[in-house]
Structure 1
Amino acid sequence: MKAAKTNSGRFFEDYHVGQVIRHAVPRTVSGGERALYHALYPARGALYSSDTFAQGCGLKASPIDDLAAFHLVFGKTVPDVSINAVANLGYAQGRWLLPVYAGDTLRAESEVIGVKQNSNGKSGVVYVRTRGMNQRDEIVLDYVRWVMVRKGNLDAPAPEPVVPQLSEAVAVEDLVCPAGLDFSAYDFDLSGEPHRMADYDIGEKIDHVDGVTIEEAEHMIATRLWQNTAKVHFDATFREDGKRLIYGGHVISLARALSFNGLSNAQMIVALNGGAHANPCFAGDTITAWSEVLDKAPTGAPGVGAIRLRLVAVKQGADLFALKGEDGKYRPEVLLDLDYWALMPL
C-alpha cells in the first residue's frame, strides 16, 4: 500500500519557535488582479485606479492596491499556518516596503516566533512573522500575525510558552515611502476630496456613512482569488453552527474601501500597527465603518505626510463610535479594529 500523498496541514503541536516555512505556489500579479479587487470592494483610491494619476505622484504606474498585495501574500501562508485554525486573531508590526506592480511575482515565507497552548488543551496560539518577496528577492511587505490553531493530538505535551514582545506601533522613522513619491503637485479634484493632512485633527472621528451587505459568493471569490484554503471559509460542516466564516481580509478591504468617503486622500498604506478581528462575520451582515485619527507626522518625501488611523468595521445595530463595553471587551457588533499608517498630502 502506498503512503498517503495528501496533506491535512499543520496542527498546533507541529510548530516550534525558530521554525522557518517557505510557502508554496508563487503568484504572478496581473492587471486583472486590480480589476477583480475593485469589483469585490468599492475601492476608488485614485492612485490605485489610474496610471496617469500615479505617474503624477512620481510612480512609474498605478500599483496593485496595498491590501490586494497583503491578501496575496497572506493567502500563500494559509496552507502552512492557518488551514486548521479556529480563528485569525491579530496583526502587528506590518510594513509595506515596495509597491507591487502588474508583472511582479510574489512568494512568501514565515518564521514561527511564538507558541502558547490554550488552557483547554485543545488548541493554541501560534505567532509568525511573514515576509512577501518579489521575483528579485526584494521584501515588498512583512508583518506579524497570530492565529489560534487546533491540536491534532490532544495528548501532545504543551510546549514551553513563548509570547513575543510586539511594539504598539511602527515608528514614523521606520515608515518607507516609495522611491520617487511626490505629492507636491497632487490633484485634489481627481482624487475625490479636497482634504489634506493639515485638515485632520488628532482625536477626530469620521463616520464613513456608507454600508455594504456581505454576500456569500463575493467572500468565496475573494478567498479563491488569493488561494486562501482555510477550512472555516469554505466548508460549512467545519463549524458547529454550519456557517462559513467570512475571511477577515474581506472585512478589512471592505472597511478600507468604505473609508474613501472622508479619507479619499489617505492613499497608500505603509504600516500595520495592530489589528483584531473582534467578532465573527457571516453572510448577510451589513458592514459600516468609522475612523479615528491617532497621529500625524511629516515624511522625507516632498509633500507627503503620514497619518495614523484607527479603522473600525461594525455590523448592523452598532452605535456610532462605540467600540468596547464597560467590561473592556469589544462590543458584539464590532468586527474589526485596525490601526495603520497611510500616506497623505500634507
Structure 2
Amino acid sequence: MSTTQGSKTWAGNFFEDFTVGQVIEHATPRTVTEGDRALYGALYPTRFALPSSAAFAASVGLDQHPVEELIGFHIAFGKTVPDISLNAVANLGYAELRFHRPVVPGDTLATRSEVIGLKENSNGKSGVVYVRSTATDQRGDVALDWARWVMVHKRDHAAAAPETVLPELAPAVAAADLIVPDGLDFSSYDFAAAGEPHRLGDYAVGEKIDHVDGVTLSDAEHMMATRLWQNTAKVHFNTEARPDGNRLIYGGHIISMARALSFNGLANAQLIAAINAGAHTSPAFAGDTVYAWSEVLDSAETAAPGVGALRLRLVATRGRDTSMTLRNEDGKYAEGVLLDLDYWALVPR
C-alpha cells in the first residue's frame, strides 16, 4: 500500500504493490439517482426508449425504470480507480462482463476486486495488472462483474519483476449464459415508440452499420463525466500527469459516446446483457470528433417472450470511416480506431 511519506494522504498503488490473489474492498459505495440518468443524457446523445421512458420500461415487463447499463458500469468501475488505476498509464481492455440485473435509482453499488494476473513490461518502468471486479447492491446481490487489465507505473524502476501470471479469459460470454431481466417481455414491443422497425431477424451476421453521426469531444464534458463516476485517475484531469500535457479522455466516455451514437441503426438494442471483450486501441483527446459503426457478429434467441440477442462489434473512430475498416492488412488496428467493443444486446425478435 502506498502513502505519502509523513502524511495520511493516499498516493495510490503502483505496479509492485500488487500480488496475485490480493482482494481489495473499494471505498465509497455510491447510490444511483435520477440525477445520474439526467446527466448521462446531457453528456451523451442517447435515445434508447427503455432507459428514457418509464412507461416503455413498464410496457416490456419491468417493474422499475432502470438506468442505462453503462451508468452502473461507470459507477462500479470508478470505485476501483483509487486502488487499481490511480497511477495508470492507460486502461487496456475488458472481458467477461455480465450485467446480472438492471440498476435502478435508489440502488447503492459497492465494488471489490481480486488481482488475477501480473506482467511487468519489458521497459521495467510499468506493468499490466489484471483484476476481476464485482459490484453488489444494497441487498448484497451482484449487479455486474467483469475482468479488466490496466498498465500501471512502477514506483521504483529497480524493483524486482513479479512472476508473470496471465489469466485465462473467455473470448466471449456464451449466449446461453446471458442473464435476461426478470419479467422482460418484448412480445408487445412498441416499435413506433422505440424509433425503428428492425427485429432480430432483420440483422445478418457480417452486416456492417454506419451510425452516421459524430460528436466532437471537449475537456469540460469528459472531465464532468469522469467526476460523475468518482473516477480519480490523474491522467484525465491533470495536465502534468502526461508528458504531452494533454488530458487523456476516460475510455468509458468513448464507450458511452459510441453506444449512444449506435442508436441510429440499432435503436432496438435496448439492453446490454454482456461485454465479451473491449480494447481502447488509441488515446482520445479534446477536439477529436468521434464516430461509430457496428458489425453483427452473431444472434441468438432467449427463453424470454419476444426477446432475442445480438452480438455486436461496436467500433469508435476519430473521424468518420465510411469504409468501416477495423484492421489493416498487417493485422494492426486501422488509423483512427479508438475503441473495439464486442457485446451482446437484447432486442425484439
Q: TM-score range by the shorter chain?
A: over 0.9
Q: Partner of 1:205 in structure 2?
A: 208
Q: Partner of 1:122 in structure 2?
A: 125
Q: Partner of 1:341 in structure 2?
A: 344
Q: Partner of 2:323 in structure 1?
A: 320
4+ long deviations beyond 3 Å: none
Q: Match for 2:110 among 81, 85, 107?
A: 107
Closer/same/farther in 2, CA of residues 334 and 269 from structure 1, 3 Å limit:
same
Deviation at 1:38, TM superposition (A): 0.5
Is 2:239 the counterpart of 1:244? no
Deviation at 1:319, TM superposition (A): 4.9
Deviation at 1:332, TM superposition (A): 2.6
Within 5 A, what are the aligned runs for 1:121-270? 121-270=124-273
Within 5 A, what are the aligned runs for 1:1-12? 3-12=6-15
Q: Match for 2:70 among 67, 70, 73?
A: 67
Q: Partner of 2:89 in structure 1?
A: 86
Q: Distance in 2 between matches of 1:238 and 1:31?
A: 33
Amino acid at match of 2:229: W
Amino acid at match of 2:324: F
Write out per-residue CA displacement over residues 68-119 of structure 1, whole angstroms, 9 at most, x where no aligned residue.
1100000000000000000000000000001111001001000000000000
Q: Distance in 1 between matches of 2:244 and 2:79?
A: 28
Amino acid at match of 2:217: I
Deviation at 1:317, TM superposition (A): 5.9
Q: Secondary structure at the match of 2:134?
A: strand
Q: CA contact under 8 A between 2:290 and 2:320: conserved in structure 1? A: no
How many matched pairs? 345
Q: Distance in 2 between matches of 1:330 and 1:210?
A: 22
Q: Distance in 2 between matches of 1:234 and 1:293?
A: 36
Q: CA contact under 8 A between 1:184 and 1:303: conserved in structure 2? A: yes
Within 5 A, what are the aligned runs for 1:10-29? 10-29=13-32
Q: Partner of 1:275 in structure 2?
A: 278
Write out per-residue CA displacement over residues 2-49 of structure 1, whole angstroms, 9 at most, x where no aligned residue.
941001000000001100000000001111110000000001110001
Amino acid at match of 2:60: C
State the TM-score, normalized to the length of structure 2. Answer: 0.98
Q: Secondary structure at the match of 1:101?
A: coil
Amino acid at match of 2:68: D
Q: Match for 2:310 among 298, 307, 317?
A: 307
Write out per-residue CA displacement over residues 144-165 of structure 1, whole angstroms, 9 at most, x where no aligned residue.
0000000011121100000011
Write out per-residue CA displacement over residues 155-208 of structure 1, whole angstroms, 9 at most, x where no aligned residue.
211000000111110001110000000000100000000001110001100000
| Structure 2, unpaired ranges of 5+ | none
Deviation at 1:318, TM superposition (A): 3.7
Q: CA contact under 8 A between 2:291 and 2:320: conserved in structure 1? A: no
Q: Distance in 2 between matches of 1:127 and 1:36?
A: 31
Q: Partner of 2:59 in structure 1?
A: 56
Write out per-residue CA displacement over residues 252-273 of structure 1, whole angstroms, 9 at most, x where no aligned residue.
0000000000000000001010
Q: CA contact under 8 A between 1:318 and 1:334: conserved in structure 2? A: no
Deviation at 1:320, TM superposition (A): 2.6
Deviation at 1:328, TM superposition (A): 1.2
Is 2:60 the counterpart of 1:46? no
Q: Distance in 2 between matches of 1:247 and 1:109?
A: 21
Q: CA contact under 8 A between 2:119 and 2:164: conserved in structure 1? A: yes
Q: Distance in 1 between matches of 2:321 and 2:40?
A: 27
Q: Match for 2:288 among 285, 290, 296?
A: 285
Q: Distance in 2 between matches of 1:144 and 1:114?
A: 10
Q: Secondary structure at the match of 1:218?
A: helix
Tell me the C-alpha RMSD between the 2 structures. Answer: 0.9
Q: Distance in 1 between matches of 2:237 and 2:263?
A: 30
Q: Secondary structure at the match of 2:211?
A: strand
Q: Secondary structure at the match of 2:196?
A: coil
Q: Distance in 2 between matches of 1:318 and 1:99?
A: 34
